[in-house]
Amino acid sequence: MSTQSDESLETVPGTVFNARQIRLLKIVVVAMGLMLIGGFVLVVATIVYQSMYSSGSTTSSAASAPSPEHSLSIGSDSKVAGMAVNGDRLAIHIEGPNTSEIVIVGIRSGRVLSRVRLRGD
């Protein structure tokens, strides 16, 4: 006398799995496939959303606007030794034959915010 539970425990020819394990594997494979497809759809939807509703559109319009020109007078025998930007401020290191100074300039306004004269001991 054979019951259904005994038949499900028999291995399927050509495999080491029984019928119940194969059915479980099919369910797991289908579930993982659906999760992969869902993940790809989520990634594509996120990329589309970010490209449509990002704040980059305001940046591009600001970048296309002409920027005003600013000038900074330095001596004819002086040279710019280095520059560094931090936020909306620009630090310019100016070296001359007898002097050295750092000028802090507001990038948006173009105004000199501060001058630091460097002296050797």
Neighbour count for residue 63 (Cβ, 10 Å): 9
Residue type, 64: S
So what's the pLDDT on residue 55?
62
What is the percentage of the chain residues whose pLDDT exceeds 90? 42
Domain boundaries, given as residue ranges, for the chain: 4-53, 79-118
Mean pLDDT of the chain: 84
So what's the pLDDT on residue 105?
93
Report pLDDT digits (tens) over 76-96.
888 999 999 998 899 999 998
pLDDT of 36 higher than 80: yes
Residue predicted with more confidence, 48 or 58: 48
Instruction: Give the bridge partners for 94, in sequence order.
Output: 80, 101
pLDDT of 70 higher than 90: no
pLDDT of 66 higher than 90: no
Instruction: Give the bridge partners for 120, in sequence order.
Output: none
Residue predicted with more confidence, 25 or 11: 25
Report CA 97 to chain centroid distance, whole Å.
44
The answer to whether the pTM exceeds 0.85 is: no
So what's the pLDDT on residue 83?
93
